[in-house]
Every structure is written in structure tokens, then in C-alpha cells.
């Protein structure tokens, strides 16, 4: 059970007392009649063979308030796409699979690119973006929920708590971010614990009060892949196509809706999924690459807010981050001790040093090119350039799913 403390500038909806999944689900069945829900599942083909996805499917079979499930599939052959259709055929909800590398969808991507609109590299961001386009083409879906497909501890409660704040008209939120703890015999979530929070706190020390930094710092788990949002946000948000996806999404939410209509909700007592390698020697892999992509997304967002990234700021930020992260490392060690958790100070320090290198690399890249790789454009922009694009996406998906 968590406390009821409200952090920062966004509303925090806690887990207080015992689970009340049945009551929430009954209310969602009622509310979803006026605000139909689409569940987006960005999936790699390899995840269909894992135990996590089988558990997710078994839970989703009993969810009555989701009107449509949209599986947006990563690179897949025709045989793999056919297997995916069979795999998801057991779901009682209307289910559509977006074959992103199929000939129909590839033709659509080429036409969008031909209009000088970048669609990004293959990955979760691009796949999720196309799923939003398909959902918007349906016209009657008002809420979009999204979660990862490698969650080993998945339950119906997680989804119901994620959907409730945006679907319930009495709460009336536009965007809801899930949060949770990630603990086994040790603490996980190194990128959030040892990079994001110390980095944002360091920037606040140097820059002073800034509403965007306060907004980021209000989220308990800013890198969580689970969220729900009003479909109108999916129409106007731009999306990063790399590991900066989650931070970039929060920046777009900050830009496109009122802070009072943003919340975070405790969706699980614990959360377990696959862990990325640190890869301290290779900046093109693992958490090392993730760190660089996240920092680039954060720094470019701040640059667009008028923050100047100079050599002096870069050096000061590195020194401040190292000191702040060391202080946080000691707090986590003490937290682990009182809870009887294993804490490897060397591994935690190695992660901090890797992230320091990633921050340095990201600041150098930002000073060279403050704009960087363009974000994937909003669907408002795409439909302005290609007015019939949503209908074409809808038809392509329907043809592929016959």
C-alpha cells in the first residue's frame, strides 16, 4: 500500500487498500459506451513465443470494456504475420494486426515519405504512431491505452487502472501515465533511478525553476511504457522514433494539453519484464544507447524552450549530475538495506559512470545539431498533406486481416 502524498504538478492516483478490479471494470463497461477504448499493443514477433504474452492474452480474454485491440507488429515475414493472426484469433474483442512491413503498409509509408514527412526508423515509436493512425481512422474510438508486451506480472487490474482516469468522464483526464515499483531480490529500473531523476534534479539546480522540468520531475516512473490518452492527443502529438520515445511523449503532452488534465496512476504492486544490458563499452547498444537517445530528446526539448546548451553548461551539468547521482546511489543503498534487498554498489556505480558518458555524448551532439533527427509528424500534419491517408490505412489493415 502506498501513501497518499501528492508529488509535483500532476495528480497522483494511488493504490490505497485492497484491489477493487471488479468495481472498476463494471464502471469502465458503462463509461466505455460513450468513450470506446482501443488497446494498442506494440509487439515484436519474437514476443509471441514468450511466456509473458501468453499470460497477457489469457488476461485480455476476460476484459469486456475494450472495444478493439490493435496489435502493431514489428518486422515480420508473411508466414510470421499469418501466425500472428492465428495467435490473436482467440481474443473475443475485435482485433486487428498492423503488418507494418507488409506490401500494403510499406506502400503507405512510402507515400508519406514522398510528401517529405519522415516516418522514423523501425521501432516501437513508429509502430505505435501507425497504430494511432489506424485508431483515428475508425472515428468512433475515443480512448487509446498502450502497454508493452513483455510484462511477466500482467493482470487485468493493471489495464483497468490504466484506462479508468481517461475513460471516466467525472475524472476527465486527457493523459494518464502508469507507474509501479520494479523490485525482485534487488531494485531494477536503473535508467529512471540513476539517470532521469538525478539528471532532471541537476538541471533544476543549474537552470532554476522551469515548468517543463517540474512537469518531468512530477512523474514517479517517467520511462514507463504504459499510458492511456484521449484520442485527440494522438492526433496532435509528434513522436520520437528512438529510445527517447517516453520522454518525447511527455514533452508533447506538456505542449498539447493542460497540466491539470494529466495524471499518473499506480497500476501494479510490482512489475517485471525483460532487462536490457548496460553495454558500458558500446554506445550503440543496450542502456548506453538508451541513455544517449533519452538525453538527446530531453535536451532538444529544453533547447526548444529557450535553454542554451553551451560548453560551460555541458561541463557544469556533468559535474552536478555526478554529485547528485552519487547522493541518490547512497539513498538506494540505504533503501535496499532496510528492505533486505541485494545491492551491488559496483554495478550501480558502473551504470552511473556509463550514464555520465552518455550525457556527455548527448550534449556534444546537441551543440553540433540542436534540431537533430526530425520527430515523426502529428497525424494532423499528415492528413493535411494527404487528406485520404487515414482511409487508406484503414483499408490496408482490413485487407491484411481478411
pLDDT in tens, 216-238: 999 999 999 999 999 999 999 99
How far is it between the farthest Cα atoms of the chain?
Answer: 59
* Mean pLDDT, residues 306-331: 94
pLDDT band at 241 (very low <50, low <70, confident <90, very high): confident
Average pLDDT over residues 245-258: 94
Please state, in angstroms and rounded to a whole number, the distance separating the CA atoms of residues 227 and 146: 6
What is the average per-residue pLDDT within 26-51?
95
Segment 357-369 shows an average pLDDT of 92
Task: Please give the share of the chain, as a percent, with pLDDT higher than 90.
Answer: 82
Q: Which position has the higher pLDDT, 7 or 94? A: 94
Confidence label for 2 from pLDDT (cuts 50, 70 and 90): low
Res 203 pLDDT > 70: yes
Torsion of CA 68, 385, 252, 147, to 10 degrees: 20
CA distance 220 to 248: 16
Between residues 369 and 25, the one the model is more confident about: 25
Helix axes 156-167 and 21-31, enclosed angle (nearest 10): 40
- Assign 176 a pLDDT band (cuts: 50, 70, 90): very high
Average pLDDT over residues 164-180: 96
Across the range 49-57, mean pLDDT stands at 91
State pTM to two decimals: 0.95
Q: Does domain 11-400 have CATH number 3.90.550.10?
A: yes
**CA of 134: how far to CAs of 246, 253, 329, 388, in Å?**
21, 20, 43, 12
- Alpha-carbon distance of 36 to 144, in angstroms, equals 9
**Is the pLDDT confidence value at 309 over 90?**
no
Amino acid at each position: 500500500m502506498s501513501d497518499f502524498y501528492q508529488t509535483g504538478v500532476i495528480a497522483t492516483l494511488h493504490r490505497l487498500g485492497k484491489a477493487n478490479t471488479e468495481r472498476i471494470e463494471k464502471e469502465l463497461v458503462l463509461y466505455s459506451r460513450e468513450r470506446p477504448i482501443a488497446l494498442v499493443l506494440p509487439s515484436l514477433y519474437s514476443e509471441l513465443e514468450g511466456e509473458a504474452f501468453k499470460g497477457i492474452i489469457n488476461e485480455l480474454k476476460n476484459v469486456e470494456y475494450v472495444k478493439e485491440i490493435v496489435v502493431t507488429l514489428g518486422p515480420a515475414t508473411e508466414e510470421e504475420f499469418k501466425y500472428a493472426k492465428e495467435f490473436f484469433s482467440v481474443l473475443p474483442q475485435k482485433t486487428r494486426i498492423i503488418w507494418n512491413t507488409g506490401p500494403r503498409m510499406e506502400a503507405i509509408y512510402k507515400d508519406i515519405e514522398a510528401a517529405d514527412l519522415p516516418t522514423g526508423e523501425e521501432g516501437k515509436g513508429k509502430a505505435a504512431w501507425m497504430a494511432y493512425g489506424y485508431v483515428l481512422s475508425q472515428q468512433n474510438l475515443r480512448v487509446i491505452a498502450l502497454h508493452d508486451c513483455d510484462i511477466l506480472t500482467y493482470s487485468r487490474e493493471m489495464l483497468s487502472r490504466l484506462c479508468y482516469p481517461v475513460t471516466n468522464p467525472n475524472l476527465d483526464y486527457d493523459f494518464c501515465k502508469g507507474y509501479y515499483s520494479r523490485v525482485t531480490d534487488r531494485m531494477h529500473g536503473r535508467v529512471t533511478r540513476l539517470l532521469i531523476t538525478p539528471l532532471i534534479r541537476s538541471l533544476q539546480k543549474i537552470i532554476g525553476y522551469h515548468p517543463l522540468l517540474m512537469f518531468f520531475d512530477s512523474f514517479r516512473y517517467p520511462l514507463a511504457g504504459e499510458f492511456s490518452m484521449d484520442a485527440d492527443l494522438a492526433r496532435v502529438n509528434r513522436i520520437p522514433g528512438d529510445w527517447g520515445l517516453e520522454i518525447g511523449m511527455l514533452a508533447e503532452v506538456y505542449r498539447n494539453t493542460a497540466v491539470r488534465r494529466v495524471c499518473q496512476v499506480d497500476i501494479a504492486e510490482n512489475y517485471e519484464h525483460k532487462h536490457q544490458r548496460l553495454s558500458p563499452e558500446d554506445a550503440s547498444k543496450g542502456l548506453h544507447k538508451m541513455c544517449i537517445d533519452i538525453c538527446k530528446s530531453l535536451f532538444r526539448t529544453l533547447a526548444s524552450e529557450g535553454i542554451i546548451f553551451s560548453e560551460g553548461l555541458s561541463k557544469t551539468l556533468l559535474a552536478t549530475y555526478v554529485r547528485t547521482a552519487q547522493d541518490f546511489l547512497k539513498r538506494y543503498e540505504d533503501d535496499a538495506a532496510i528492505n533486505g534487498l541485494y545491492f551491488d554498489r559496483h554495478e550501480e556505480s558502473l551504470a552511473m559512470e556509463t550514464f555520465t558518458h552518455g550525457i556527455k555524448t548527448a550534449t556534444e551532439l546537441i551543440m553540433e545539431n540542436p534540431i537533430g533527427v526530425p520527430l515523426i509528424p502529428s497525424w494532423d500534419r499528415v492528413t493535411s498533406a494527404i487528406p485520404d491517408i487515414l482511409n487508406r490505412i484503414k483499408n490496408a489493415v482490413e485487407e491484411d486481416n481478411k
